[in-house]
């Protein structure tokens, strides 16, 4: 095998020659709205780029995710980049068109630039460059442009169990890591608490039973619960948030007969699904337990293709050991790129790793341009140089890992 540093110089040269194409590709996919997990149009654009670069297979899966494959070796590595985005919120909050792909002071701004379209150009071009330089011997590699915002983990679950029905050996997740290698994050469970009441006219509210009032002690308890949640030296402290509330009432001058709060619970190591639910149930006063109930959420909404993949919205925490060959290969490639030395870190938010690693136990790492703190904000952005240089990482990782396994 050729020395890695010699290969890195060849890869860097190829990436630099493709720089303008990579940037233009990024600007074009940011300009294509892909909210509400409707990724068909942006998937078509990405598919066209993969066909231009000579991928062996390019197609949509049954869910509507875009797949690109190179090679047919015995080892399988998937490069995961979700290409759907959240909405833009209030358009007046944006100082620029969120679908313009604006470039200013070396930063590309736009909805999804950070979360997570910014990894797609590097993955697509990186895999093509790796093939051209003979770095994929023994590998089958997939680019997997998927929908994640609607329900993280559901697209990879379908990848393994339905289409293409392939269980990868290794995973690279392109969520923003500030060009560091990440190796885990907290798990999560989504819950709802429903209170039933009795409606009455607001002028005769003594005849009703206000469902909102029945939830107040639960909401206050959740507000104060976080200090008692689990803690882990690597993943950090558990989190809990009341993230939404819905009320059913005959009118705004009536006593509501139903109220529902939704809970986002981030779970660290040592915390279980059952314990997380029980913690919330314990906040319900005894006199209200006949009409206030807690339940974990279940997802069974169809994708834009009409495909339904029912899934429980619980995903465990995960972390790949620092000494694992995949982590070490990632750190080696990163060091060879001349980036500032840093240990493997973790995300604060959630990624598709909650299925790949958390449920399926597939060794997974993260590497991507951008900072997760700009995700879902009106400053959604990615540094152009990082977005281009990430291509080097994706191109080199299979070669580096092959030397370690």
Q: Active-site residue numbers?
A: 84, 148
- Per the CB < 8 A criterion, the answer to whether 240 and 225 are in contact is yes
| Token pair belonging to 174 | 């392109």
- The token duo for 9 is 């110089």
Note whether 111 and 376 are within 8 A (CB). no
In the block, tokens 């690279």 appear at 172
For 175, 196, 297, the CA distances from 220, given in Å and listed in that order, are: 34, 18, 21
CA–CA distance, 234 with 325 (Å, rounded to integer): 19
Given a contact cutoff of 8 angstroms between Cβ atoms, the answer to whether 174 and 116 are in contact is: yes
CB 194 within 8 A of CB 260: yes
The answer to whether 210 touches 255, Cβ cutoff 8 Å, is yes
With a CB cutoff of 8 Å and minimum separation 6, the contacts of 124 are 25, 46, 49, 50, 53, 68, 143
Cα–Cα distance for residue pair 304/324, rounded to 1 Å:
38
Closest-CA residue to 325 (of 375, 395, 400, 393): 400
Burial zone of 64 (CB within 10 Å; 0-12 exposed, 13-18 middle, 19+ buried): buried
Look up residue 188 and give its two tokens.
Answer: 């999560």
Which residues 6+ apart lie within 8 Å of 346 measured at CB?
Answer: 182, 183, 184, 185, 234, 235, 236, 319
Task: Find out whether 38 and 84 touch, Cβ atoms under 8 Å.
Answer: yes
């Amino acid at each position: 095998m050729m020395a890695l540093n010699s290969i890195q110089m060849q890869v860097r040269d190829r990436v630099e020659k493709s720089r303008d194409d990579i940037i233009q590709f990024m600007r074009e996919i940011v300009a294509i709205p892909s909210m509400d997990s409707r990724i068909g149009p942006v998937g078509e654009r990405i598919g066209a780029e993969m066909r231009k670069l000579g991928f062996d297979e390019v197609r949509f899966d049954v869910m509507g995710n875009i797949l690109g494959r190179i090679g047919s070796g015995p080892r399988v590595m998937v490069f995961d980049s979700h290409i759907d985005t959240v909405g833009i919120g209030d358009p007046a909050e944006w100082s620029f068109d969120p679908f313009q792909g604006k470039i200013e002071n070396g930063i590309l701004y736009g909805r999804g630039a950070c979360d997570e379209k910014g990894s797609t150009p590097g993955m697509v071009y990186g895999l093509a460059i790796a093939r051209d330089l003979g770095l994929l011997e023994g590998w089958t590699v997939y680019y997997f442009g998927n929908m994640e915002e609607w329900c993280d983990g559901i697209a990879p679950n379908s990848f393994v169990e339905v289409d293409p029905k392939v269980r990868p050996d290794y995973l690279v997740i392109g969520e923003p890591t500030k060009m560091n290698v990440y190796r885990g994050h907290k798990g999560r469970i989504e819950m709802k608490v429903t209170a039933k009441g009795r409606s009455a006219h607001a002028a005769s509210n003594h005849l009703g039973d206000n469902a909102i009032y029945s939830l107040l002690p639960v909401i206050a308890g959740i507000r104060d619960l976080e200090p008692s949640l689990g803690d882990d030296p690597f993943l950090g402290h558990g989190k809990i948030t009341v993230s939404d509330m819905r009320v059913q009432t005959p009118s705004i001058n009536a006593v509501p007969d139903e109220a529902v709060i939704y809970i986002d619970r981030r779970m660290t190591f040592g915390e279980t699904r059952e314990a997380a639910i029980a913690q919330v149930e314990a906040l319900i006063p005894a006199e209200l337990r006949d009409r206030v109930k807690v339940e974990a959420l279940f997802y069974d909404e169809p994708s834009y293709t009409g495909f339904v993949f029912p899934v429980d919205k619980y995903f465990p925490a995960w972390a790949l050991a620092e000494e694992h060959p995949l982590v070490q290969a990632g750190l080696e490639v990163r060091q060879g790129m001349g980036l500032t030395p840093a240990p493997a870190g973790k995300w604060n938010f959630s990624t598709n790793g909650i299925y790949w690693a958390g449920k399926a136990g597939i060794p997974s790492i993260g590497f991507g341009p951008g900072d997760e703190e700009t995700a879902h904000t009106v400053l959604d952005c990615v540094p152009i140089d990082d977005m281009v240089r990430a291509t080097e990482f994706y191109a080199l990782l299979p070669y580096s890992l092959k030397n370690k396994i």
